[in-house]
Amino acid sequence: MKQGKFEAKRVKPTNPGEAAEPQAGQGRFEAKAPRSAAPEQAESTEQGRFEAKAPKAAASGQTESAGRGKFEAKAAKAAEPVQGERQAKGRKLSRRLLITLLALLVLGLGGTQLYWFLQPAPADEYPGALTKEETLAQYRSLAQVLENEDMNLTLFPNDPASQDVPILLTLSPARSRVQVDLTGLEQDLNEGVGKVGRGRYRMDPARYISLDRSVLRELAERTEREWNQAYLPSFASVSSYREGQKEGYVLTVNIGRRGRDISADVIFDALLAAYLTGDVVPTLSYETYIPKPLNVEEICDRFRTDPVDAVLDETTFEITPEVPGLGVNSQELTRVLDYAHEGIGYTIPLRTLTPKVTTAKIEAKLYEHILGEAHTPHTRIDDRTTNLILACEQIDGTVVMPGEIFSFNETVGERTEEKGYREATAYIAGNSVPEIGGGVCQVASSIYYATLQADLPSVERHAHTYLVTYVPQGMDAAIYWEQLDFKFENTSPYPIKIRASVSDGEVHILLRGREWKDYTVELSYKVLDETPWETKEQAVYDDSYKTGDVIVSPYTGYLISTYKSLYDLEGNLIETVQIAYSRYAKRDKVVAVRIWSQPPAED
């Protein structure tokens, strides 16, 4: 006994894209719906034809009977004298003669029609209908094929461009359990089932061809699971990303996925129809959907954005920032598409296209000159250094537009612990005391010193109580929140940017802008008066100081005049101008004298 076969596999046609033709001799048998009522209607029709002839015969009998009546009437008149016996014999002879005449009439008039009724109808009268012998021969041939040959259904893509390999589904007779019931067919033919006319039959193959339909359904559903594929169109898109401090844009491309519309129901119907028609090499096409190929040039053009240059408004000196462009690396994209797999997305970082004119370049041109600068040393005390750094961070990058006034207090703000400022020495009411934000006067003094070099006028400036040493004498500026401020005005025709920082033990101040002066500035000072300090003793009754320890450090008092000298570009003196008077108080030196006895109590 042959083993059942049940498999689905791809086959490679000799000529791709062309469906295999059925083998010679494999005729198709078209399945049509059973017509169970047709034989009965045909038989009724024939019966009607036969019954229609009977009245004709009866009519002839009536005519003959009429003639017989006339004859008998005449005989009666002639035989009136004859005895009753002859009359009886005559009547008997007449009846025999009448029967003979009727028989001759039927044979003479209806014999041809009866012969015609008993012959099969012509083939063209009932297209597709076969005689009983032809039907039996056809189903015997069908049984020979179906019960001995494998069923091979080939699925072809409807579009050869899809490059899909055909899929071959195979079922052996043992697996499908296909059988043709020839005995039942012959019995039905003898009983007139499927009869459509005189000797012609149309039989329903589903009535005589049996098979295990669950096997067909199982093969169809398995084929759909394995080969049906959802369609995914190709696409390209751009999205932003952020990884920690790094951010940018990436291009995502997907070549898509070919789709196959393979339906289990369609395969099942095709297999069933093939069995009922006896076609063991049927073919079936399925819909394919092919994604549009991605074009490198189109993608590069589509996702390219040209950079936009920064623009300087020469009237307001406002800078409209540049906008970087984006570009696709065409070589990288080509490489990715050459090796891409269906349905998988690939990402390519986009290149940043830098504009030719950037804000940095405009600012470098706008602030290309150093108009004034100061690099003042500071004491390396951590808390004081922290205060210097915080103040410089608030000032750095500040732009003072033409005609605008810079205010130290407004720019830096109040110095508080919440902002991170710490206690450091400051001059308050002539004393050196710890103060939150102490030491930031050095930043203000450094800016003042730089503005003197740039020949920018001060709007508000205060000298320290005592002379400081980190800037030249008479060139310092004291500040105190809501009481003392330092302000200067930008009288140049261009904006000025202040750069402020602390490094290497110094406070650095740069005033950058476009040089507008046709002269240079040199600064100088003159001591108009000097008041020396004296040493004084202070009794100490505890162990806080030893005799000779300095309790208060001394400062010499000064009256200083500050000047600026203007020179043309060839070095000739144009003029010297006094720009400030600065008076610094003197402070006597106080030393400790240790007293071991307590002072007398006061009354």
Confidence of residue 61 (pLDDT cuts 50, 70, 90): very low
Instruction: Please tell me whether residues 441 and 508 are part of one structural domain.
Output: yes
Report the amino acid identity of residue 303.
F
Instruction: Please tell me whether residues 453 and 549 are part of one structural domain.
Output: no
Confidence of residue 5 (pLDDT cuts 50, 70, 90): very low
Instruction: Please tell me whether residues 51 and 146 are part of one structural domain.
Output: yes
Picking from 169, 189, 223, the residue at the C-terminal end of a domain is 223
Instruction: Please tell me whether residues 378 and 406 are part of one structural domain.
Output: yes
Give the per-residue pLDDT at 123. 65
Picking from 201, 223, 245, the residue at the C-terminal end of a domain is 223
Give the per-residue pLDDT at 15. 40
Integer Cα distance of 147 and 378 in angstroms: 109
Angle at 230 between CA 224 and CA 235, to 5 degrees: 160
Instruction: Please tell me whether residues 486 and 529 are part of one structural domain.
Output: no
Give the per-residue pLDDT at 269. 97
Strands 283-289 and 151-157: parallel
Higher pLDDT, 11 or 403: 403
Confidence of residue 247 (pLDDT cuts 50, 70, 90): confident
Torsion of CA 48, 53, 57, 62, to 10 degrees: 60
Give the per-residue pLDDT at 159. 85
- Asked whether residue 19 is domain-assigned, the answer is no
Would you say residue 314 has pLDDT above 80? Answer: yes
Confidence of residue 97 (pLDDT cuts 50, 70, 90): low
| Beta carbons of 31 and 274 less than 8 angstroms apart | no
Instruction: Please tell me whether residues 578 and 474 are part of one structural domain.
Output: no
Would you say residue 219 has pLDDT above 70? Answer: yes
Kindly report the CATH number assigned to the domain that includes residue 530.
2.20.230
Instruction: Please tell me whether residues 602 and 479 are part of one structural domain.
Output: no
Instruction: Please tell me whether residues 427 and 455 are part of one structural domain.
Output: yes
Instruction: Please tell me whether residues 595 and 509 are part of one structural domain.
Output: no
Angle at 153 between CA 149 and CA 154, to 5 degrees: 135
- Asked whether residue 325 is domain-assigned, the answer is no
Take residue 25 and report the two structure tokens written for it.
């001799």
DSSP code of residue 149: S
- Asked whether residue 22 is domain-assigned, the answer is no
Instruction: Please tell me whether residues 589 and 546 are part of one structural domain.
Output: yes
Average pLDDT over residues 573-583: 95
Domain count for the chain: 3
Residues sharing a CB contact under 8 Å with residue 347, sequence separation 6 or more, in sequence order: 250, 251, 252
Integer Cα distance of 3 and 6 in angstroms: 10
Confidence of residue 363 (pLDDT cuts 50, 70, 90): confident
Residues sharing a CB contact under 8 Å with residue 71, sequence separation 6 or more, in sequence order: 94
- Asked whether residue 322 is domain-assigned, the answer is no
pLDDT tens, residue by residue, 482-494:
899 999 999 999 9
Give the per-residue pLDDT at 23. 36
- Asked whether residue 595 is domain-assigned, the answer is yes
- Asked whether residue 536 is domain-assigned, the answer is yes
Range of the domain at 555: 519-603
Would you say residue 516 has pLDDT above 90? Answer: yes
- Asked whether residue 371 is domain-assigned, the answer is yes
C-alpha distance from residue 215 to each of 188, 285, 589 (Å):
28, 21, 116
Strand partners, 348: 251
Instruction: Please tell me whether residues 474 and 548 are part of one structural domain.
Output: no
Instruction: Please tell me whether residues 507 and 585 are part of one structural domain.
Output: no
DSSP code of residue 200: E
Average pLDDT over residues 325-350: 93
- Asked whether residue 291 is domain-assigned, the answer is no
Would you say residue 63 has pLDDT above 90? Answer: no
Average pLDDT over residues 564-582: 95
Picking from 206, 223, 240, the residue at the C-terminal end of a domain is 223
Average pLDDT over residues 280-288: 94
Would you say residue 106 has pLDDT above 70? Answer: no
